[in-house]
Amino acid sequence: MITNIEHNPKLAGPQRDKLRAQATQLEGMFLNTLVKEMFSGIKTDSKNFGGGFAEDTWRGMQAEQMSTSMAESGGIGLADQVMGDLVALQEAAQNPMNKPAALQGAYK
């Protein structure tokens, strides 16, 4: 894994920013799955929250907004972990003869 990713001289600012956005988006999607599962365990009925299709739709939108906000606020650190692999993939794509060891297997 590449250390000190944010100051990697091989990646220009826009490239680094794009990779950071992609890593944050991936973390948001992962958190969305977790939040949806968390909400699925909450019992709702017509007495408390109204229930029905509208509530199911609202819960999905709420989970998406919460997870996006969590990821943009630092999340659980998944984006930071993924960022190293994204940088390594970007560098490997620019120089196919020099594949980093991190890309040669699923387990590091």
Q: Which residues of 79-101 are buried (b: 16+ CB within 10 A; e: fewer)?
A: bbebbbbbbbebbeeeeeeeebe
Instruction: Output the pLDDT for position 10.
Output: 63
Rounded to the nearest 10 degrees, how much is the dihedral formed by the CA atoms of 1, 94, 83, 16?
130
The answer to whether the pTM exceeds 0.85 is no
Distance between CA 24 and CA 92 in Å, rounded?
21
AA identity, residue 21: A
21-56 confidence digits (pLDDT tens): 999 999 999 999 999 998 888 776 666 666 777 777
57-85 mean pLDDT = 90
Question: Which three-class secondary structure string do you get for the chain?
Answer: CCCCHHHCCCCCHHHHHHHHHHHHHHHHHHHHHHHHHHHHCCCCCCCCCCCHHHHHHHHHHHHHHHHHHHHHCCCCCHHHHHHHHHHHHHHHHHCCCCCCHHHCCCCC
